[in-house]
Amino acid sequence: MDVLVFATSVEKPWQVSRVKPLLTAVPAINGWNFDLEDCDNILRIEAKDVSPRYIETLLKTAGFECRELE
């Protein structure tokens, strides 16, 4: 199981609701959460065999910035 961490432009709970169907539709994602209190609006994903680029593209198609953090 990998933990992927991203900085995003998701800032509000209604925006999380907009992203939720995209993330829950990916069977390889076992869990995810946003930390909207963090200055980078962190998205953490627990998944197996999911490319960080795939997650970045997924959020970008929904209109949000997303970049993997080291």
* Other C-beta atoms lying within 10 Å of the C-beta of residue 33: 12
**DSSP character at residue 26:** -
Averaged pLDDT score across all residues of the chain:
96
Predicted confidence (pLDDT) at residue 70 exceeds the cutoff of 90? no
- Model-level pTM? 0.94
Helices (H), the chain: 13-24, 52-61
Render pLDDT for 5-30 as a digit per residue (tens, 0 to 9): 999 999 999 999 999 999 999 999 99
Render pLDDT for 33-45 as a digit per residue (tens, 0 to 9): 999 999 999 999 9
CA angle at 44 for the pair 25 and 28, rounded to the nearest 5°: 35
* Other C-beta atoms lying within 10 Å of the C-beta of residue 25: 9
